[in-house]
Amino acid sequence: MPSENKDSDNIKSTLESAGSFALGAYRVNRIGYGAMQLAGDNVFGPPRDRDEALRVLRAAIDHGVNHIDTAQYYGPGTVNEVIREALYPYPSDLAIVSKVAARRDDRGAVVAYDDPDQLREGIEDNLATLGVDRLAAVNLRLMDDSRPGERFDAQLASLVQARDEGLIGGIGLSNISREHLQRALGQTQIVCVQNLFNLADQRSLGLLRECAAHGIAFVPFCPLGWPRGVQNLLLTSPALATLGERLHATPAQIALAWLLDVAPNVLLIPGTRTRSHLTENILSATVRMDHSVREMLDRHFPSVAN
């Protein structure tokens, strides 16, 4: 047991070395945890190994993680229930962030559930399954690529009302454009933005920079790519394998370290089903980026900012 405690303390020190950033009223460590993978295959149904899912969550807290990303439609409901079983009563500094605007149908498909009253229902469902009275933040996840207009304003107003009533601490946006962010900032404060962004897909770089200019946390989802597709490009990249030999790091650690290096407002939420991968993700903070590393990554993964 003393050895395990020492290892956990060392991992916690490594995590804290990556720094922290504001997430609404919270100050969170820059490496958090995304709980999506705790559901079954295709993010539907119970975990493959519920006991290990509980252990992963408890290990994350022991290692200093104080930002967990989740959603009621993961499972659906299953992931929130596992979080509650593992961690309730929650540490006072733990920021649990969820998202609304989607649900799962009987076949497991993700479908829009984004009328203003449905957003409110989604918030209340999250509160119930997690066993809390208030969430640190909730992301409005846009389900299509339409431009912002009156419907977006009505959706945003629903979250503003929930915040003003104390159900959520802050409002976030997900799967958005810079135009959405600018329109939202004209109406209320935004504490975080969650968009697809990783070494192989940098289309949201302009949005990230816009968030940095406003002091808004930017939380890249799929930081290692989609489970099928871009992820393979990253984790099987010869360039990252070669660089990994030089840096004594895995391709995944390099991809995560690159995200930490992009901007100080980036908050990571890599997900995993195992404690070993949890530790590997946190140790990405030990990968040191210098000019030659950045130059090599820029050459193999050029940015295309929108």
Task: Report residue 16 as tokens.
Answer: 């804290």
Give the amino acid at 222.
C
In the residue annotation, 74 being an active-site residue is answered as yes
CA distance 42 to 204: 25
Q: How far apart are CA 265 and CA 192, in angstroms?
A: 9
24: left (phi over 0), alpha (psi -120 to 50) or beta: left
**CB burial string 228-255: b at 16+ within 10 A, e below:** eebbebbeebeebeebbeebebbbbbbb
The label of the residue with tokens 């404060």 reads 189
Provide the token pair at 243: 């660089």
101/162 Cα distance (integer angstroms) = 14
Among residues 157, 147, 149, which one has the least CA distance to residue 120? 157
- Using the structure block, give the residue that is written with the tokens 């406003």: 214
Pick from 143, 134, 190, 137: which is nearest to 165 by CA? 134
- Measured CA to CA, the distance from residue 56 to residue 58 in angstroms comes to 6
What 3-state class would DSSP assign to 70?
A: coil
Q: Which of 73, 74, 88, 90 is catalytic?
A: 74
The string of DSSP letters for 141-181 reads: E-SS-PPP-HHHHHHHHHHHHHHHTTSBS-EEEES--HHHH
Q: Which DSSP symbol is given to 58?
A: H
Active site residues: 74
